[in-house]
Structure 1
Amino acid sequence: MAGFNFETLERENLGETVYARVAEALIKGRFAPDARLTIRELAQSLGTSVTPVRDAILRLIQDEALVQKSAREVRVPIITLERYREIRQIRLKLEGLAAREAALKAKAKDIERLHDLIALNERAIADKNWAEGLELNQTFHFALADIGDMVVLRGILNRLWLQMGPLIAESYHEGGRAMIDNHYAVLAAVENKDSDAAERAIIADITEGGNVILERLFSRRAAGADQAN
């Protein structure tokens, strides 16, 4: 929580807005794994009462994006190696499908959007602005489902990224070029309306970028084993 502030909210649709704001922060990795969240601090940051914040927290616990440690303690979960592998396997299938549909349905404005996202991400990486780079990476992945007009799939991916956001953020700067290089192949495949190539490219992107995350999780497990001994 420390160091992160939300913009004050208007009073309309507070419940949905609070949920959307906290969910967005999780997806974009603004909270680290194991970060402790308090309803009072979130309410103060959002400029609202505790009730809509409490409701949003409960929904996020149901989404498995947060964990209830005790009556007063809510934390961002620490994803295990096994859980990460399962989520990645699901992402490979679902985001592969999104990429295929994007290649089949993309219009000129969609291709231009993907191109712009890559260019902005290149600038963020050059500036070592990892928070912006991470946000642009997430936007690129979600854009494929949007371009493919897959509303249900977009919702499923949103829930997966709720869990993955903090973990990806932890490792994004270590991934370097692996976090963006395959986006060019995705773009080329979408431009050429080559659904097979688009699927292969996004699978390569998730796999290669995920290798850094796997290394971190293996190291964390080894450190835990050493402490136990």
Structure 2
Amino acid sequence: MTGFSFETLERENLGETVYARVAEALIKGRFAPDARLTIRDLAQSLGTSVTPVRDAILRLIQDEALVQKSVREVRVPIITLERYREIRQIRLKLEGLAAREAALKATTRDIERLRDLIARNERAIADRNWTEALELNQTFHFALADIGDMVVLRGILNRLWLQMGPLIAESYHEGGRAMIDNHHAVFAAIEKGDADAAERAIIADITEGGNVILERLLGRRAADTAKAG
């Protein structure tokens, strides 16, 4: 497994807690695409037995966040170009809806929360603290569904980001300003209560940031084709 480790867990509700911790690590890109995860290493890192970890791994396989290569080998999937394009198309619709609802429902407290997230993300990027910047980017996106009070949509986005987190993390630092510039436009639209502008801005954010990911996936496909030839 990679060098990332978890904080030791308390003994209550271990099954749900283990699932939540591993899922959060995937969403936040703590594991790279094709990283090999072992139940024993995860259990040791979390300070628990192998049983709740095994159960969590099985759930994450069902969520398509992990893939089982063999009886003993579980890996973070390598997302194909076609799958990425499909997920991005879905995100454009769903996160566009989340941004619209956030613009219509945001309170003063919500506005301040978004302002703080962007400011902290800017500092993290300036400091080249990519781990923190990536987490703040994900938190900003999820905050839109939370502010819009869209619980079902939040759950759907969580599953999509389970699959996308490692890939976004792999490309985030290459994206530069494209990964955050549109967050300012999203914020400005929500602050004004302009649902149309908020939707346009989040679509631009996903599209422009995704271009870096597309380039990486296209390069990977070209390399694989060259090897096969």
Alignment TM-score, normalising by the size of structure 1: 1.00
Per the alignment, residue 188 of structure 2 pairs with 188
Equivalent-residue separation in structure 2 for 1:148 and 1:77 (angstroms): 31
Equivalent-residue separation in structure 1 for 2:44 and 2:130 (angstroms): 27
- Determine helix, strand or coil for the equivalent of 1:54: helix
* One-letter amino acid of the counterpart of residue 194, structure 2: D
Equivalent-residue separation in structure 1 for 2:154 and 2:32 (angstroms): 24
2:42 paired with 1:42: yes
2:26 paired with 1:26: yes
Per the alignment, residue 208 of structure 1 pairs with 208
Per the alignment, residue 159 of structure 2 pairs with 159
Number of positions where the alignment pairs a residue of Structure 1 with one of Structure 2 = 229
Per the alignment, residue 58 of structure 2 pairs with 58
Equivalent-residue separation in structure 2 for 1:201 and 1:51 (angstroms): 44
Equivalent-residue separation in structure 2 for 1:140 and 1:5 (angstroms): 24
Offset from partner CA, 1:84-106 (integer Å, 9 cap, x none): 00000000000000000000000
Equivalent-residue separation in structure 2 for 1:6 and 1:187 (angstroms): 33
* One-letter amino acid of the counterpart of residue 187, structure 1: F
Equivalent runs, 1:1-229 vs 2, <5 Å: 1-229=1-229
Q: Which 4+ runs in 1 deviate beyond 6 A?
A: none
Equivalent-residue separation in structure 1 for 2:4 and 2:10 (angstroms): 19
* One-letter amino acid of the counterpart of residue 224, structure 2: G
Equivalent-residue separation in structure 1 for 2:154 and 2:206 (angstroms): 17
* One-letter amino acid of the counterpart of residue 68, structure 1: Q
Offset from partner CA, 1:77-131 (integer Å, 9 cap, x none): 0000000000000000000000000000000000000000000000000000011
Q: C-alpha root-mean-square deviation of aligned residues, in Å?
A: 0.4
- Structure 1 gaps, min length 5: none
- Structure 2 gaps, min length 5: none
Contact 2:38 2:73 in 1 (8 A): yes
Contact 2:29 2:165 in 1 (8 A): yes
Equivalent-residue separation in structure 2 for 1:2 and 1:132 (angstroms): 18
Offset from partner CA, 1:13-51 (integer Å, 9 cap, x none): 000000000000000000000000000000000000000
Q: 1:135: Cα distance to partner? A: 0.3
Contact 2:2 2:31 in 1 (8 A): no
Offset from partner CA, 1:130-176 (integer Å, 9 cap, x none): 11100000000000000000000000000000000000000000000
Alignment TM-score, normalising by the size of structure 2: 1.00
Equivalent-residue separation in structure 2 for 1:43 and 1:116 (angstroms): 35
Equivalent-residue separation in structure 2 for 1:99 and 1:125 (angstroms): 23
Equivalent-residue separation in structure 2 for 1:131 and 1:83 (angstroms): 25
Equivalent-residue separation in structure 1 for 2:45 and 2:62 (angstroms): 23
Contact 2:2 2:35 in 1 (8 A): no
* One-letter amino acid of the counterpart of residue 89, structure 1: Q
